[in-house]
Structure 1
């Protein structure tokens, strides 16, 4: 193949013309043809790679954008879901017993709050105000300072404000307070108040009691 190399290096060299060298000339031509074919294949490959790159870019820009499907609220409208329960914060005012009656009509009861996480969730639902106070489901109407939930279970612990409950003026029902004071915290927001007072309230019911 020195002839091929010779052609590549100098145009002054010719392939041999004898019979033996004629065969070498044909081989020289074959190699030249194969080299040109290889170069053509390489160019085609490069072109295909470029077309594939452009196609991928086009697919990326024209493919429909997937958006997350919002999680469906398992609770009725105006009720908020947390840990298997639905909660409703009233905008109207009633006495503690009338508030409990309303919650029962909705298939629930005044909120029973057993954990700090649940307390914080509910408290975060409440709007701030000068003294926004909401009934929830505890009272000591039967025996003073013996607090029970509306389902008959005894209160253990709780999230009382310091100095509460104090039974200042025959205060036998529990209410949750949220004010404009940002230093107040959810886990110290319970007060006792006279059960006849007209306050908004917080209902709770299990998700399983709500069917659409």
Structure 2
């Protein structure tokens, strides 16, 4: 005997199964009841939206991140290409500068070689210039230097004319005095005595009171003692006196006297007009 079960009995059992837990089946049952569809017709099930929505958002975020990375990588490579292009341009400019410098260097080397060749040719054609330096002029033994001249106070005595000849024999002349410095130098060479008088190269033997030096130059000023020259007894030659009296000074020490008197004398030689004295050989 086959037992027949009423459809409502299965329906109640199905509803009881659906209502026992909160599963998608209960949602589906409620959906059927709201739409009024018969229980036996299978509806088109919509997948729950929660998990898929999260997956979609996550996928979208990953896509955006990937897009940003791609953009960054593209920009990086573009910058590298730009830098590479600038580097190549810089290297090209450096190569151009090096080439210019090398050309300038070759030009200078060529000019230097030409100049050396000209100098060598000139050296071969022109005789070498030999410059000799004259040794310094020295005063002979017994002569003292002062302002370009050598002076010697003679111990011999002679008249004025013979004194001049003696100085000429030594390559000089009686002293010619132009400056106070020269007069003071000669005055200091003379010793003090009762009446130490020395001929100098001054006379007016040709024209009275027209005093001239032995080189023909006229006297300007002078260092006469007060009242001199006085031509007391036909006194035509000049001399210098240095006595024990300290009141007698260099700038007032000239007198005139007869040229025939015998006196020591002072000779002078200009340094540039005399030969160098011979140098005695030294023994080893």
- Shorter-chain-normalised TM-score: which range? 0.5 to 0.7
Which structure carries more helix by proportion? 2
Distance 2:233 2:248 in 1: 24
In structure 2, the partner of 1:183 is 247
Indicate yes or no: 2:271 matched with 1:211.
no
Aligned pairs (5 A) from 1:83-122: 83-122=147-186
In structure 1, the partner of 2:17 is none
In structure 1, the partner of 2:216 is 152
Unaligned runs of 5+ in 2: 1-135, 278-284
* Per-residue Cα deviation, 1:28-81 (whole angstroms, up to 9, x for no partner): xxxxxxxxxxxxxxxxxxxxxxxxxxxxxxxxxxxxxxxxxxxx9921111111
Which structure carries more strand by proportion? 1
Question: Contact (CA 8 Å) 1:129, 1:179: kept in 2 or not?
Answer: yes
Distance 2:184 2:158 in 1: 24
Question: Contact (CA 8 Å) 1:148, 1:154: kept in 2 or not?
Answer: yes
Higher relative contact order (CA 8 A, sep 6+): 1
Secondary structure, in 3 states, of the residue corresponding to 1:124? helix
Aligned pairs (5 A) from 1:15-164: 74-164=138-228
Q: TM-score, normalised by structure 1?
A: 0.65
Secondary structure, in 3 states, of the residue corresponding to 1:176? strand
Where do 4+ consecutive residues of structure 1 move more than 6 Å?
none
**Deviation of residue 173 (structure 1)?**
0.1
Aligned residue pairs: how many?
141
